[in-house]
Chains A and B, each alone.
Chain A
Amino acid sequence: MIALQRLPRRTIVVLLLAALTATALLALSCGSLDIPLSRTWAILWQALGGTPTVTPDTAESIAILQLRLPRLVLGLLIGGALAQAGATMQAVFRNPLADPGLIGVSSGAALAAITIIVLGHHFAWTLLPLRWLLPLVSFIGGALVTAMVVRLASVDGVARPSTLLLAGLAINAVAGAGIGFLTQIADASALRSLSFWMFGSLGKAGWSEILAGAPLLLAVLLWLPREARALNALLLGEAEAQHLGVDVEQLKRRVLFLMVLAVGVSVALAGVIGFVGLIVPHLIRLAFGPDHRIMLPASAMLGAVLLSLADTGARTVLAPAELPVGILTALIGGPFFLALLIRYRRSSEVL
């Protein structure tokens, strides 16, 4: 793995971009209806206003442009944003096991969103369309949990890892109970939306929801890497970062805001998709080291690739039925987390 750390930055970017392109083509052509790459290409080309040599089939065209393309876009953005959100949280708490899902940020956001879905029709939607209201409410839910955890786990400015994880445990339990309660009182149509939140899926959001959330996710993806140098300093310790000229309080507020934004919008669009923020930064760190200037962009790209691949898998294994992608990420992520526990179990700084 050390050999990968020596790769020039440009090579890393080219490699990841190649993986990204391959994933995108795979995701568009695979599914319950397998479409050859040449026709996939033709459909995209036609959608962009070109005149392809083969005339695409209408059913295939709909499958790609109306069903698979929005999922792909969503998968790439959410995968990237969740991976960066995880990396950011790990830097802020200086702990490679910190993850927005484990700490309860995602379930806080989900509980808030579900509250709106179940109880919301008693209020007027008219104030704000649901595609705006849901991300906003999820963001607030996530932000409340984050503020609480930061306060709870910090003793003299140092976040205790065990407190952090235990706080997450408690918050996840409470949110789970809240969600369970809401499913009991939900009506049938709300219940269908709920089952999707429970596991996370990229298949429910249409173009209008995606277009509402995408700019926010893109903003996070582009902004976080700008904080890379300061986050590097933060890994040394809060006092050390301050001595190096970083305004630590402001930095933490800024990046935690962006982290919650990424998680909140992702949850609003696709429900709770766990472990992406844990696995991806860890793999990138193993391969390229912890320097955030490489870590953040590389995590974004690998996160995008992995989530889209997982979604393609989720669409195809049980085709024509579909597996929620969150089940797949949890299946991979749970054992991965256990492996990390074994690796770090002797480290008093991490556990």
Chain B
Amino acid sequence: MSLRADNVSYRIGSRSLLDQVSLAIEPGRVHAVLGPNGAGKSTLLKLLSGEQRSTSGQVLLEDRLIADWPALERARRRAVLPQSESLSFDFTVRQVVSLGRMPCILQTPARENEIIAAALEATGVAHLDGRIYPTLSGGERMRVQFSRVLAQIWEASAHPRYLLLDEPTASLDLAHQHSCLRIARQFAGDGTGVLLVLHDPNLALSYADEVTLLCCGQIVAQGAPEQVLTQQNLERVYGVKIEILNSANTQKPFIAVHS
């Protein structure tokens, strides 16, 4: 059981955005993808979500080609948080979140309200519930979208669920970055397979079980966070001077960038 990419490549014309990348998202685990801008992180996420088709290699959801899944069945198994949103119509926050319930087998209205309320609560936007979405700040919108995505796979079911988050922390403040990733962690605790596209290696060290480091469409390293996010790998990929500090308090390494 997994959502995985087998040797996928993605080309536009002669330009190769992804080259022979393999990666597996397993139920109950958090997999982070890191890499510099243009490394192919979002492209990989789009292939895994079925939004785009790979030019070679295959993406398999539960051993069945992602493209072969009926759209609705696929939507019940995996939810996707895109990097950017553009909604210029005046939906209320609650309406946006309830759109997440669209593919689900609908429960009683009371239960549906409970799920939406819980999803709003989870990302800390319950107090915005009646606000008009386009009037929110960037960070608030992001959390509302996150809430919508959570509502989509809120309820445990017979089949595993997957959560694909493309830079979920990008527009969030420090506290919300951590609360967002804590939620992802909680979902993994309940058996959801999570893919995170991240920029901050320290967040990956704290929240991921596995890390894939991409550069120029290719995998540089893949495995446990401490083994992938080494000084050598990071310096090579990002071209900056890195120091890995070991904090006595947390027993976790901390990655510092020297300017």
The chain A residues found within 8 Å of chain B, CB to CB, are 5, 94-96, 229, 232-233, 235-237, 239-240, 242-247, 285, 289-291, 347, 349-350
How far is the CB of B86 from the nearest CB of chain A, in Å?
Answer: 6
**Closest residue of A by beta carbon distance from B149:** A243
How far is the CB of A82 from the nearest CB of chain B, in Å?
Answer: 20
Pull 13 A–B residue pairs with CB atoms less than 8 Å apart, ordered by A: A229-B102, A232-B99, A232-B102, A236-B99, A240-B82, A242-B71, A243-B49, A243-B80, A244-B99, A244-B152, A245-B76, A246-B71, A349-B86
In the complex, chain A residues whose CB is within 8 Å of the CB of B22: none
Of B72, B92, B95, which contacts A245 at CB under 8 A?
A: B72
Of B76, B78, B102, which contacts A233 at CB under 8 A?
A: B102
In the complex, chain A residues whose CB is within 8 Å of the CB of B63: none
With A229-B102, A245-B71, A285-B90 already in contact, 10 other A-B pairs whose C-beta atoms are closer than 8 Å: A236-B99, A237-B87, A243-B80, A244-B100, A245-B74, A289-B90, A289-B92, A290-B89, A290-B90, A291-B95
Inter-subunit contact A289/B88 (CB<8 Å): no
In the complex, chain B residues whose CB is within 8 Å of the CB of A290: 89-91
In the complex, chain B residues whose CB is within 8 Å of the CB of A243: 49, 51, 75, 78-80, 82
Inter-subunit contact B71/A247 (CB<8 Å): yes
In the complex, chain A residues whose CB is within 8 Å of the CB of B92: 5, 289
Inter-subunit contact A242/B51 (CB<8 Å): yes
In the complex, chain A residues whose CB is within 8 Å of the CB of B51: 239, 242-243
* B103 close to chain A: CB less than 8 A: yes
Inter-subunit contact A347/B88 (CB<8 Å): yes
- Give a binary string over B36-73; 1 marks a CB under 8 Å from any A CB, 0 the rest: 00000000001001110000000000000000000111
Of A96, A229, A244, A291, which contacts B88 at CB under 8 A?
A: A96
How far is the CB of B126 from the nearest CB of chain A, in Å?
Answer: 19
**Closest residue of B by beta carbon distance from A247:** B71
Inter-subunit contact A244/B89 (CB<8 Å): no
Number of interface residues of B (CB under 8 A): 29
* B85 close to chain A: CB less than 8 A: yes
Inter-subunit contact B87/A245 (CB<8 Å): no
- Give a binary string over B89-122; 1 marks a CB under 8 Å from any A CB, 0 the rest: 1111001100110110000000000000000000
Of B49, B78, B85, which contacts A236 at CB under 8 A?
A: B85
How far is the CB of B214 from the nearest CB of chain A, in Å?
Answer: 21
Which of B78, B79, B86 has the largest number of chain A CB atoms within 10 A? Answer: B86
How far is the CB of B31 from the nearest CB of chain A, in Å?
Answer: 18
In the complex, chain B residues whose CB is within 8 Å of the CB of A350: 88
Bound Cα distance from A191 to B88, whole angstroms: 44
Inter-subunit contact A233/B88 (CB<8 Å): no
Bound Cα distance from A242 to B74, whole angstroms: 10
Bound Cα distance from A235 to B134, whole angstroms: 12
In the complex, chain A residues whose CB is within 8 Å of the CB of B91: 235, 289-291
Inter-subunit contact B89/A237 (CB<8 Å): no
In the complex, chain A residues whose CB is within 8 Å of the CB of B72: 245
Bound Cα distance from A350 to B90, whole angstroms: 13
Q: A229-B102, A233-B102 are in contact. Are A245 and B75 (CB under 8 A)?
A: yes
Inter-subunit contact A235/B75 (CB<8 Å): no
Bound Cα distance from A94 to B152, whole angstroms: 22
Inter-subunit contact B99/A94 (CB<8 Å): no
In the complex, chain A residues whose CB is within 8 Å of the CB of B99: 232-233, 236, 244
The 4 A-B residue pairs whose C-beta atoms are closest, nearest first, are A245-B75, A245-B103, A290-B89, A245-B72
Q: A246-B71, A291-B95 are in contact. Are A237 and B86 (CB under 8 A)?
A: yes
Inter-subunit contact B89/A96 (CB<8 Å): yes
Inter-subunit contact B102/A285 (CB<8 Å): no
In the complex, chain A residues whose CB is within 8 Å of the CB of B95: 289, 291
In the complex, chain B residues whose CB is within 8 Å of the CB of A237: 82, 85-87
In the complex, chain B residues whose CB is within 8 Å of the CB of A244: 75, 99-100, 102-103, 152
**Closest residue of B by beta carbon distance from A237:** B86
**Closest residue of A by beta carbon distance from B89:** A290
Bound Cα distance from A243 to B166, whole angstroms: 13
